[in-house]
Structure 1
Amino acid sequence: MSGTDRAADWWATGITDIAPGSIRLRGYAIQDLIGSVSFSELVWLMVRGELPTSAEAELLELTLVAAVDHGPQAPSIAAARMAASCGLDLNNAMATGVNLLGDVHGGAGQQCLEVLHQLRATTDDGVAPEQAARDLVADHKARKAFVPGFGHRFHPRDPRRDPLIGAVRQAAEAGTVSGEYLRLALALEEVLAEGTKPVPMNVDGATATIHAELGFAPELARGLFVLSRSVGLLAHSWEQRNEPTRIKGPLPKSVIPTYTGPPPRDLP
């Protein structure tokens, strides 16, 4: 192998084929894709390697729309707005928000998808979905851990849950998806509704159900959430850039954070 060949293989990829005057994504010429496929179809093609059916693309698009934004009370949005108020360019402000999306804020979709895979493995061993869900909830309670994808700190019932679950239910009835993960997610929700305070599914649980039905890996679920939330980050960063307030911190200037250290004292 020549030195040139070794250099060409350094970033070998099966995604994009570039040559002078030619751009191909997964083998398809970009000029053929433009105007022929939707953005959600292109996302699927890029991460999965093949084009989805129109029904699969519609389901994926629902998840991308649902997770776009949750206002400045979401830490990622607030951070992006603070960054924009400090004069950072849009890409820097957006990156500030994206970098806040981790396991605690932004990771529940991936975590819920992992839970659904765990339940699927249990039911494949012969355990009924309801019992598998009951055992999983009992385990989380024993560890004092939240079941990811259920409950919301702001919404008594997440308004995004019903349209997403309704769509995946219709897709299961039409044969677009198997409905296996939908049954598991609903079994979990039923068990969590048995307590004194029901814990309904939230947007992360609903999107995880769709991602599971569509065959996306858990890590891709988080990446898709970041992709969706980036739209909100862009909108809020742009809005903040066009407001006169500079160096906008997490609290109004008139509000001083509560001090909890030692009282005033003199140096010895």
Structure 2
Amino acid sequence: METTGTDGTAEVARWWATAITHMAPGVIELRGRPVQDLIGCVGLTEMVWLMLRGHLPEPPQAKLLEAALVAGVDHGPHAPSIAAARMAATCGVGLNNAIATGVNLLGDSHGGAGQQCVELLHDVRAAQAGGADLDTAVATVIAAWRERSPYLPGFGHRFHPVDPRRDPLLGLVDGAVADGVVEGHFVTAARAVEAALVRPGRRPVPMNIDGATAVIYAELGFAAPLARGLFVLSRSIGILAHAWEETQTGRRNKGPIPPTVLPEYRPTSAG
């Protein structure tokens, strides 16, 4: 392997080559932009876009992304990530550890539905590109996804008959489509999936927060795995707030149930 000089420093430099950050004595550039030109001029949502995409968004794009990030900030202590972070905060660890505890629970079943819904919507679009009409594409994709799981990511909610975050987000998407900010293919696909889930005599299965934000991320051109990463960024704010609140109570070693309640003991027969 080619190196410069005899100490191999060029090889090491190439090992961590990046297009994201240029750092040298007195220099910090992010995606080619001096940090001093960004401070006070660029909002956090715009920075997220810049770091992930390599360029700054147009203001309407930033507005749509920010709406999705705001919507996913918190859902209360019954969410495993929040509860775990609050418990961790009482165990003598720092806030960074408490946040990491909560974030590490954001897996496929809790926190991953946005990514999965983006994948589902791309499957619908791929089926359309293959010649299927929208209804046929939706039916085919739903059937394929239900072979893996009875749950369709991005639709239905165990607490809310209609997720209160759904309509504001979809309204913003509709406005962005009307203004030519996004094309609208993915919101059309998502609404077609929602309509296909309507069954006579059965409870509706409307789009939830994961579905609505998946629409936004897909319309804005973010890759499916980034939908989970963006949700993690958003939910980290709520996790931090809950962890900090818990530290203010002075409680130590908080468990998942009050100490006055003992878990049921279920003995099993030997052998």
> What TM-score results when the alignment is normalised by the length of structure 1?
0.95
Percent identity, aligned pairs only, is: 58
Match of 2:39 among 34, 39, 43: 34
Q: Over residues 86-114 of structure 1, what are the superposed CA-to-partner deviations in whole Å (9 max), with x where a residue is unaligned?
A: 12100000000000011111000000000
CA contact (8 A) 1:129 1:183 kept: no
CA contact (8 A) 2:162 2:206 kept: yes
Please point out which of 218, 224, 230 is paired with 1:218.
Answer: 224
* Equivalent residue letter for 1:8: A
Letter of the 2:265 partner, please give it: Y
Candidates 201, 220, 230, aligned match of 2:236: 230
Equivalent residue for 1:123, pick from 122, 125, 128: 128
Compute the displacement of 1:140 (Å): 4.0
Q: 1:260 deviation in Å? A: 1.8
Match for 2:91 among 77, 82, 86?
A: 86
Which residue of the other structure, out of 166, 185, 193, is the alignment partner of 2:190? Answer: 185
- The 3 A distance-change label for structure 1 pair 109 and 143 is closer
Deviation, 1:139, is 3.8
**Is 1:174 paired with 2:179?**
yes
1:137 maps to what in 2? 142
Aligned partner of 1:244 in structure 2 is 250
For 1:246 and 1:204, locate their aligned partners in 2 and report how far apart those are by CA, in whole Å.
34
Distance 2:128 2:267 in 1: 53
In the other structure, the counterpart of 2:165 is 160
User: Is 1:50 aligned to 2:60, yes or no?
Assistant: no
- 2:207 alignment partner in structure 1: 201
Q: CA–CA distance in 2 between the matches of 1:144 and 1:31?
A: 49
Contact kept, 8 Å, 1:137 with 1:192, in 2: the verdict is no
**RMSD between aligned residues:** 1.4
Q: Secondary structure of the equivalent of 1:148? A: coil
Paired position in structure 2 for 1:254: 260
| Deviations, residues 98-149 of structure 1 (Å, cap 9, x unaligned) | 0001111100000000000000000111212122112323344455521100
SS in 2 for 1:117: helix
**Distance in 1 (alpha carbons) for counterparts of 2:146 and 2:72:** 27
Instruction: Between 49-58 and 123-132, report the one with greater CA deviation.
Output: 123-132
Instruction: Give 5+ residue unaligned stretches, structure 2.
Output: none
Whole-angstrom CA distance in 2 between matches of 1:260 and 1:140: 37
Q: How many residues align?
A: 264
Q: Which ranges of structure 1 fall in alignment gaps of 5 or more residues? A: none
Relative to 1, partners in 2 of residues 1:144 and 1:52: Cα closer, same or farther, differing over 3 Å? Answer: closer
For the residue of structure 1 that corresponds to 2:22, the secondary structure is strand
Q: Which amino acid aligns with 1:221?
A: A
Would you say the 8 A contact 2:65–2:217 is kept in 1?
yes
Aligned CA distance change for structure 1 residues 144 and 19 (closer, same or farther; 3 Å): closer
**Aligned partners of 2:77, 2:68: CA distance in 1, in Å?**
20
In the alignment, the residues of structure 2 paired with residue 144 and residue 64 of structure 1 have an alpha-carbon distance, to the nearest angstrom, of 27
Distance (Å, rounded) in 1 between the aligned partners of 2:180 and 2:234: 26
Which whole-Å CA distance do the structure 1 matches of 2:213 and 2:241 have between them? 22
